Amino acid sequence: MPWYLPEDLKHFKEITMGHTVLMGRKTYDSIIKRLGKPLPGRINVVITRQEDFQAQGGVLVFHSLEQALDALKKDDIYIIGGAQIFASALPLAQKMHVTHVHKDYKGDVYFPEIDWKEWDMLDQEPHDEFTFATYIRK
């Protein structure tokens, strides 16, 4: 991410702690590079097309979103990136936790377009630089 918002990281941790976080391999690699380990206190799930991919201990690896969702259907699953995983999972999502950042940043990866007519805002928490919002599918 091209921004650093400590409050956003804290909010992310509060929401996802004790749950399943599902991510693509590049997102997983960036977490390992930054933390040196998978996200603690959560079930970490990686989706990759690499058949021989090896993740650190305890991380579940699947080769398709469908395969992962089928295996984890009883869990609350938080999709945490990257762009391809977001795009594949968005049509299936029933709830979104979104941080609306109040500044434009240049980047090469973007969240997919959202048809806001399909979503109702449950709540929002405005801050100077960003707003936390929760949406549910209509």
Note the pLDDT tens digit of each residue in 54-97: 998 889 999 999 999 999 987 789 999 999 999 999 999 999 99
Is pLDDT at 110 greater than 90 in this prediction?
no
Q: How confident is the model at residue 121 (pLDDT cuts 50, 70, 90)?
A: very high
Is pLDDT at 129 greater than 80 in this prediction?
yes
Q: How confident is the model at residue 47 (pLDDT cuts 50, 70, 90)?
A: very high
Model pLDDT, residue 31 = 95
Q: What are phi and psi of 12, to 5 degrees?
A: -60, -45
Nearest to 10 by CA among 95, 122, 132, 107: 132
2-16 pLDDT, tens digit each:
778 899 999 999 999
Share of the chain above pLDDT 70, in %: 99
Q: How confident is the model at residue 107 (pLDDT cuts 50, 70, 90)?
A: confident
Nearest to 80 by CA among 9, 7, 4: 9
Nearest to 25 by CA among 57, 76, 64, 67: 64
Map out the domains of the chain with their CATH numbers.
6-137 (3.40.430.10)
Average pLDDT, the chain: 94
Model pLDDT, residue 109 = 83
